[in-house]
Structure 1
Amino acid sequence: MKNNKLMFDTKIKLNRPNITPVIFVSLILFFILWFLFGFNTRTVDLENYKMFYLHAKNGVRFPGIESGYYFFLRFCNIVGLSFQQYMIFYSFIGSVLILKSVNKYTDNKAIISTILFIIFPYFYFIVAQRYFMATAIIIWSIRYLLYDYQYGKIKFIFCILLAATFHTYSLMALIYLVSTFKNKTINLSLIFILVLSILIIFFKGPIFIPFTHFFPKLSIYLLDNTRISTKFFLGVYFLLKLLFCELVNKFSYEGNNKLIKINKLSIFTFPLSIISMNFMRIEYSMLVFLSILIFRTNADKLDQKKNTELFVIKLLYIIFYLFFAYFLLYLYSFETVVKMIIENNLLLR
């Protein structure tokens, strides 16, 4: 009995140092997410969101504002929150959903994935408040595809419909239901998407003009002509993303197969982004899952060659990520997005 007690006590003593740092780092990362958004006092679109909040206070739903977001604003007004308090409350909920999900998907080793997510694209979500909550719900909902939840597909669909009440773009995330299909179906889907992308590049108008009769807003996006250089840039980005999926595919990890499928399916954003870069928001919502895939993948500890290969893949991925983050955010939007958010914060006054 004494020996058993000693073994039990020793086990607790050995495990304690491994738990505390994880909780501590998670709290720091959560605070950064919450701090950047909730206590922000100025973004390029903040005045518009103040106007939405004022309209909701008067019981008026501003045109184009989704019902879920409106009722959230309405609730905050009813309980007497100021606009800044609404932002603190709103960002708290979204930050909890995001961080808890990333922790779950990475077995509580979410440090690098979350840091990369904060570097890019998180600043864009602070500017686009409606899409922030939609993104948080989408990230949360992927659990119902990765793990064997009872009625998982139904729960996933419910979450996406909920996310769509904050931003209608969220409905496009329903394509990730295809990740439950066989690899052959996924690969055929990728071929179709790539062919469609080529057709859009050369015949965008004739393909989509008939649909503008049913979706008038589509005509606005057809006027947003993505530059040839940007199309090429996006093509390289998505091809490299597919390459990273293939590189980690040889390493075994339970649940990686579905995660690889989800990342492959995200290429459907490419033809949409050729029409308008606004559609890249959908890719930004899911980019964290590529980081999760890369950094939760492990090799056999005894296989030194594979461990070295995986280390190189992860290093190359970080370089890839920071390179594209620079061009997609920092090169053209540092002053108007990143710097403005960092310099205008209640806690830094």
Structure 2
Amino acid sequence: MANITAAFNTALKAHNAPPVTSHRYSIDRLDEFLKEAYSINARIADLTAYLRAIRPSYLSTAPAPRRPQRQNSADQKSTHDATQRHLSDTERASIDAEAKTVLRQLHAAVERISQTEQIRQDTASHIALRKRNQGGLGAIGRRAAGGAVTAKSAEEEMEEARQKMLNAHRESIVWFLQAKLREAGTLQATMMEIRIQREVEKSKSVLYKAKSSSVPSAHGFDAALDSEKTATQEQERAEPQLSDEQMQLFAQENQDMMKHYQDTLDQVRTAERSLIEISELQSTLVTNLTEQNEHIEQLVQDSFFTTENVGRGNRELKRASERPSSARILFHSTCAFCAFLVVWDLIF
């Protein structure tokens, strides 16, 4: 679509109207709630981008390169470099811990602005109620118009509608942040699940290879039974041939294998604990999203009802001003009687 701003400004100028100016968006002009929301959203986006960039290296099962990896300077490091290099188990565990810490911090930040907004809403509602209950000229005017003292005026109805729209907007922002945070947590949890599965499969593969290499191949079950006696005799002849050094070497290999399995088991347990914590955080986020969604729908519905009530209230006020009320009749009667007494006193 063509830009017709210049032609539109010319038409406005012909009618002595101010031209349309481009609006420059600036975060500095926003309130503290929106500033904090933008900051949290930026941190969530950075975390999600980092997890997606590091995912190939994090899930890679390729062996470590023989040549040492070249370390770049601090200003040359980037997320792209991280995706191209091999990650050790220690680095993967560090990534899990850092991601879990950031997720906790972001969840606490979202909860903080949600609680702050709830306090603001409660305070605004309390102040509006106190203003209506204070009485004064506004209450006298409402009573004279035939309404109750606590009835809402048109201005109060409009202010309430504005507050409800603001509440719905901010509740939607909190819901959006919680949804984005849940996506980041799901991405991290998926990476950890795949890593645990691959570690378990790798351990099973190593154990299978070790058993296969230690057990000699046989041509069949019957052949194995026939050669059992011969194998036993060969084993008895081979045992005296093993030196102490070979026995120590076999024992060392067994210890190294057990240590490898124990380290793998510890890594799997650590990853499972982190995965459980992230799952609990996601469950909390899902619950909050459900409650937030219901609250937003209720606020939007209330705002529509408030708008309808404002129009209906204006019509009621107009009809109330047209029909005489008891207070108005009493006021006019009192004024007429006082005027009559003054005139009577002046004449007689």
TM-score by length of 2: 0.21
Please tell me whether Structure 1 or Structure 2 has the larger radius of gyration of its CA atoms: 2
TM-score by length of 1: 0.21
Greater relative CO (CA pairs within 8 A, separation 6+): 2
